[in-house]
């Protein structure tokens, strides 16, 4: 039996401060060498595990297109995240509770690093990818938690 997992967008929180993003080559190498961590909404995956590719567009109107999608439990998606706006945007996958917790941490520590496999920071006009296996049933969300 295939369980469908509905992924929906939640509104961006406009009361947060911009964080300074730090992504170093050494840190990226160390992160990629670490085994992926199981989360309630799935686990990071690699290119050779991809079942399907989905393009998600974001813009300065604080909208994602599409604003939701469905996946089968166990399906691995390559999320191609395109920033069609003129400012930095992000896409963070998680449960509503996890996203709320992340937003609170960003408010408290605006310079915090973002280097998790379920997060993508995309500069204006750029594209990033996330590869994620949705191996848990449930309803999960994605959001941009940067102000705007």
pLDDT tens digits for range 93-103: 999 999 999 88
**For 128-145, what is the mean pLDDT?**
94
Spell out the domains of the chain, with CATH numbers in brackets: 4-143 (2.60.40.420)
Q: How far is CA 140 from the centre of its chain?
A: 11
Which pLDDT score, from 0 to 100, does residue 9 have?
46
Q: Contact, 57 vs 84, CB < 8 A? A: yes
The count of C-alpha atoms lying within 13 angstroms of the C-alpha of 71, restricted to the half-sphere facing its C-beta, is: 27
**CB within 8 Å of 69: residues ≥ 6 apart:** 6, 7, 54
Report which of residues 27 and 14 the model is more confident about. 27
Q: How far is CA 84 from the centre of its chain?
A: 16
The model's pTM is 0.77
**For 6-19, what is the mean pLDDT?**
41
Mean confidence (pLDDT) of the chain: 81
- Considering only CA atoms, give the Rg of the chain: 15
The count of C-alpha atoms lying within 13 angstroms of the C-alpha of 94, restricted to the half-sphere facing its C-beta, is: 20
Q: Which letter does DSSP use for residue 61 in this model?
A: T
Q: Contact, 105 vs 145, CB < 8 A? A: no
Indicate if the pLDDT at residue 81 is higher than 80: yes
Apex 75 CA angle, 70 and 77, nearest 5: 75
CA distance 27 to 115: 9
Which pLDDT score, from 0 to 100, does residue 35 have?
84
Q: Contact, 26 vs 108, CB < 8 A? A: no
């Amino acid at each position: 039996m295939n369980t469908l997992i509905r992924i929906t967008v939640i509104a961006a929180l406009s009361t947060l401060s911009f964080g300074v993003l730090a992504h170093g080559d050494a840190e990226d190498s160390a992160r990629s060498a670490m085994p992926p961590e199981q989360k309630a909404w799935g686990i990071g995956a690699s290119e050779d595990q991809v079942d399907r590719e989905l393009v998600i567009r974001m813009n300065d109107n604080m909208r994602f297109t599409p604003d939701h999608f469905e996946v089968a439990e166990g399906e691995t998606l390559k999320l191609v995240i395109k920033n069609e706006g003129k400012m930095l945007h992000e896409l963070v996958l998680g449960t509503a509770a996890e996203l709320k917790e992340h937003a609170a941490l960003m408010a408290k520590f605006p310079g915090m690093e973002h280097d998790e496999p379920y997060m993508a920071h995309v500069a204006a006009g750029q594209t990033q990818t996330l590869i994620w296996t949705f191996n848990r049933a449930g309803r999960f969300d994605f959001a941009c938690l940067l102000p705007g």
